[in-house]
Structure 1
Amino acid sequence: MNSYKPLGRIGDLVRAFGSAVSAAAAIERGHRPKNHDLVKLGINPEHFDGIRRY
């Protein structure tokens, strides 16, 4: 059986883009992004809390 799923990769890309948009919108509003959005973007939520605004 062939496990190659090109549409699966496109779905992953769309979900990553959605997480990026969601995280950016939360930052713009002055809120903290959701953990699952940060994880999808490869950001450790615990390390994100250490980021300070300048």
Structure 2
Amino acid sequence: MSNLDGILRVVGLPDLHAGKIPVGLAVETRNIIYPHIIGNDIGCGITLFNFY
């Protein structure tokens, strides 16, 4: 992913797992949009809770 044109940063999240396009990552780009990075499990995610 980091070798694609316009990619500034790639961050792996706790649910990161391999696939055709890795699932569980956030990608920062400049001047380009890669629709295929969204992947096939959009809506699958993680939740962050803050307990005091």
Greater helix share, structure number: 1
Larger Rg: 1
Superposition TM-score, scaled by structure 1 size: 0.22
Higher relative contact order (CA 8 A, sep 6+): 2
Superposition TM-score, scaled by structure 2 size: 0.23
